[in-house]
A and B are shown apart, each in its own frame.
Chain A
Amino acid sequence: MKNEIKIINHSIEIVKVREFLRNNRSGAIVIFEGVVREFNKGEKIKNITYEAYEAMAIKEITKILNEQRKKLTNNNEIHSICIHHRVGKLNVGETSIIIGVSSEHREQAFLLCSNIMDQIKISVPIWKFEMSENGTYWV
């Protein structure tokens, strides 16, 4: 079991994430990418600036990862988890977060990936400042 959690201010490199997750025991690698979309609540987005309380964000993500992994049955089938979250200004189409899980079979990887994302949205101290055609605001 190995994990990698990073808050980064440059583009997420999916190839490196995949290489981190890949190993001969894993029959499944699930990678979720969160992407800045063009419209939010009917408003056309120009860009989003992400801000993080980095030290706490890493602690919280680590906690989430351990809790969600424990909740799974057959959690010994999970091999690696990789989470990278961007900070700084992102344009439409750029990846803001990547969550990757490798496991023996696909079911656990899909489930863990989805559950981790749900929890990150609830408690990890990261904020976004949206710039749309109608103005700017903290989401």
Chain B
Amino acid sequence: MQVKILTFANLKEYSNDFTIEIEGKESIALSIIKQKIIAEKPALEKFMNNIAFAVNQTYSKNDNQEINDLDEIALIPPVAGG
């Protein structure tokens, strides 16, 4: 399965968007994806506790949420719209 990881704002200075590939799985928990993000892009580790995550454009606070092939995970630093 493939999962697209999106970064924004200050996170872009540490990593552009990238794709995580996981062999032999059809779905996986969000917590595992978080581990794989750190493994793939160690520079993002220091932000992981201070950002939100969105799965397919919806916030997710559930580490057990099932992530499927071609899902889009966004790393959301603190927002500042308006």
Report yes or no: A117 in contact with B9, Cβ–Cβ below 8 A: no
Report yes or no: B82 in contact with A51, Cβ–Cβ below 8 A: no
Report yes or no: B81 in contact with A97, Cβ–Cβ below 8 A: yes
CB of A124 closer than 8 Å to a CB of B: yes
Report yes or no: A139 in contact with B80, Cβ–Cβ below 8 A: yes
Given A53-B76, A96-B82, A139-B80: A129 in contact with B9 (beta carbons within 8 A):
yes
Which of A55, A59, A121, A138 has a CB less than 8 Å from the CB of B81? A121
CB of B67 closer than 8 Å to a CB of A: no
How many B residues face the partner with a CB closer than 8 A? Answer: 15
Q: How far is the CA of A55 from the CA of B8 in the complex (A)?
A: 13
How many A residues face the partner with a CB closer than 8 A? Answer: 25
Given A53-B74, A56-B74: A126 in contact with B79 (beta carbons within 8 A):
yes
Chain A 15-55 interface mask (CB, 8 Å, partner B; 1/0):
00000000000000000001000000000000000111101
Which of B76, B77, B79 has a CB less than 8 Å from the CB of A122? B79
Chain B 38-60 interface mask (CB, 8 Å, partner A; 1/0):
00000000000000001001110
In the assembled complex, 6 residue pairs joining A and B whose CB atoms fall closer than 8 Å, in A order, are A53-B8, A53-B54, A59-B57, A122-B79, A125-B54, A127-B80
Interface of B with A (CB < 8 Å)?
6, 8-10, 54, 57-59, 74, 76-77, 79-82
Nearest first, the 4 closest Cβ-Cβ pairs linking A and B are A126-B81, A127-B9, A56-B57, A138-B10
